A and B are shown apart, each in its own frame.
Chain A
């Protein structure tokens, strides 16, 4: 191919495509847009967790004829948010399964009258006994979903687990918990919908997956596919919180638009967004591990249960990822992993960066430190003795083909964090004073792309077209929401065509213009969609060279001339490429076995913490994040993904607590849901290794979710190192630390049972 120098565009920190608009305030988010004749929409929601609606009353003091009112009866298509099991209604008809469940919709031109009208609708209910915890749900004394409250189960088996116990020198058990976490994108959920009989429904929204919304609206509105159009606006943060949820809010706006014939804008305020939309699945993991005298894992049983909330939504997929990551980056000669997603009467939990892996990896990494303690070796040594090596198989029996050296990665991380010197220093320092310092590590992996046959099922299609002026346009449904989609995909296309980066643009995701390249999730965009963009871009060049309009090496000017000529003759110049599963990659959905992911990124994270025994607060003083990610496509963006993910995970570990009351989030305001500020975070030092990846564009692996997996266990491991107290549950709040210290016998023994921890 032409003289494309790798690192010319890909591998450099080119300007963010939409960056100028963002720093000048010109970027247009949903609430910055208005349409003529637009109404505002709002949602009337359930105040009970479970039961039946007996009566809906409209306060006579309101001029209801001024309002558009939509109930379940108005739904033209199917009353559901089409996703996987289609069990979630768009509007509750009679049955209520969670607090804040949407019941009816109102619209009015005056936002203030609208707000008052929402307050003026009241419901009478007949309540049913609700289930509020994972523990209660699995007991099955009250069945709230299906036959047994279980949305999904998985069983992964490898080797002969039942035979490992008798000869094991050690059997180590542990139970670990993670709480719910709010995505807390700074831009709340919002959409505008419009309807006219000719064009159908159009929705502009803050969203990650235009085609998910499209599919949901087709089913809900009873419209053909070409009468539904979804456009992604500039999106102010997502993190998974705008993966499936936008289908609900878009459905609501669309119904109001269809009934009224006018455009309708629904934008949540922070209180509504926090209380009504999805959160990270709370989890409980139980480990029972057989370990040899010299600290090698012989086998074990892992039970992993997640709380899915009231409807199935994406719980089966979150469970899947959590299941596959449950064994960490270690070699398990045998293992049995039993997992389950259960229902509770809570707003459904959903996608959040990491998607099950932060939960099961928290447990694995805490458990490794426990195993180390029992065996009598260091947390470093236990990991070295169990790391996966090339040629070995994972828990799902995927052979590691790539040349990963976790041992070396760990050594490098220890050096970068000055681990040993600090540990020595702290051992002395900790003898006096109320501030105790500790070091903790986490070693982990994250699979990029959809699991197993998922990418095949997504069947992504990508387009690249050239214009007569030589400008190339990338056509994908992949959304930009800060992580750099626009920039990276344009870099790849520019590199492939040996054109200046400025000559490549990307279309705003609009389902009437872009093909379905799959959802913007699962750390798949740079790796999988990027590779398709690379192929499609190359396809443009091939078309031109095949027709003799362009030679193998060319200048941008020559490229422009060739495009002009080609388009004059043929009308357009477009190249489309569809995903093809790599050969020799097999996944057995029945047995849950085989090649789970096309690529794993690998990481070692090191946390340095201070535990202040006056305030019982844990602060992170320094953080090293070292990862092998195939290829750094854009250094500034890649580093930004890691620091942002680490910051969110520090929040997950130490700050972000959802206070539940009867299935409802009580602390649904930013003043009481605590995320770290600039004054709270340590220096986050990011380092990359690049070993390539045959399946990704330019050898890239996905990195968006990876940084979410490691910080929490590294931090809790560091706390144990600092004060010798074992914690098994996050968020680890000062109140929890205080409580645990109270329960210690005076000799401050570390042989304590884990504090039983359910959703509070």
Chain B
């Protein structure tokens, strides 16, 4: 334990309003902490430079999951366990439920929150690609009011986000229009559980008469931010799935991503696996089409 607790403040205003009031009064002074599965690791390693923390764990407004006719709204402080246990999420947004089951072990899923993961903005976070393909929208709140932001605009650079200094993520909404899609996700890490991903794919597709009607692809751990593969999607749209398309997809993916060498893996490996995962999905998509 390389931090001195005496050097840190943790305040618990207890309501969303009072937290926002604090952030507004003293912008850039307070680091929100929900389940702590990211913050506390840094803290224990003596690497947490923010000395003032504001507690989001005990704020009921951030814990709701609302099922509305057009979308599902997930409170930012919902834990991964809560996501896994929610019937609608498991049924209609299986990629998110699956990603939740991959995030750490059970103990970390009981504490880790979706909002915390989004705000922490690691490109390796498991659930972010799923949010990207589901066209998630964030509701950001502050004393100045609330605004909605397409999640694909949230990450602006490595660990940089569109969150203003006085803002919090209040909820994440997912439009309920993907039930007819083929959903696929795969994470490649160093082991089967408790692994930071080396590459992670979330994918949705609609195919008819062997022709791709709509496809959403997102990869984690291959760029400074979780990536929606816009170029590859454009290239694939309206095309028939055949071997030449798969190779073209692999090339376009390689062109879009920016993997690096790091302590866990290599850029070349990540690039190759990313291509393999996308091809694997397209083959699955084609197979589903053949079966229907």
Contacts and interface: CB of A to CB of B under 8 A. Distances in A.
Interface in B260-279: 263-266, 268-269, 272-273, 276-277
Contacts of A116: 4
Interface in A614-629: 614-617, 619
Contact of A614 (B4, B198, B273): B273
Interface in B4-45: 4-6, 41, 45
A672 B264 contact: yes
Contact of A738 (B45, B192, B193, B268): B268
A615 B191 contact: no
A616 B193 contact: no
A738 B273 CA distance: 9
A616 B273 contact: yes
Interface in B233-273: 263-266, 268-269, 272-273
A280 B280 CA distance: 39
Nearest to A677: B193
Contacts of A615: 188, 273, 276
Contacts of B198: 734
- The B interface, classified by DSSP as helix, strand, loop or mixed, is loop
Given A614-B277, A666-B263, A115 B190 contact: no
B195 interface: yes
A189 to B, nearest CB: 16
Contact of B195 (A111, A674, A742): A674
B2 A115 contact: yes
A674 B191 contact: yes
Interface residues of B, number: 30
Contact of B263 (A614, A667, A678): A667
Specify the main secondary structure of chain A where it touches its partner: loop
Interface residues of A, number: 32
B266 A735 contact: yes
A556 interface: no
A680 interface: yes
Contacts of A115: 1-2, 4, 46
Given A269-B1, A434-B280, A671-B196, A677 B269 contact: no
A524 B155 CA distance: 59
A271 interface: yes
A738 B269 contact: yes
B194 interface: yes
A655 interface: yes
A613 B268 CA distance: 15
B276 A735 contact: no
Interface string B168-197: 000000000000000000001011111110
A677 B276 contact: no
A659 B261 CA distance: 13
Interface string A579-618: 0000000000000000000000000000000000111110
A492 to B, nearest CB: 39
Given A269-B1, A667-B263, A677 B192 contact: yes
Contact of A680 (B4, B41, B191): B191
A616 B199 CA distance: 12
Interface of A: 111-113, 115-116, 269, 271, 434, 613-617, 619, 655, 659, 666-667, 669, 671-672, 674, 676-680, 734-735, 738-739, 742
9 contacts: A112-B5, A115-B46, A434-B276, A669-B45, A672-B264, A674-B195, A679-B193, A738-B268, A739-B269
Given A616-B272, A677-B192, 20 more contacts: A115-B1, A269-B1, A271-B45, A614-B277, A614-B280, A616-B273, A667-B263, A671-B196, A672-B263, A672-B264, A674-B190, A677-B194, A679-B191, A680-B193, A735-B265, A735-B266, A738-B268, A738-B273, A742-B268, A742-B272
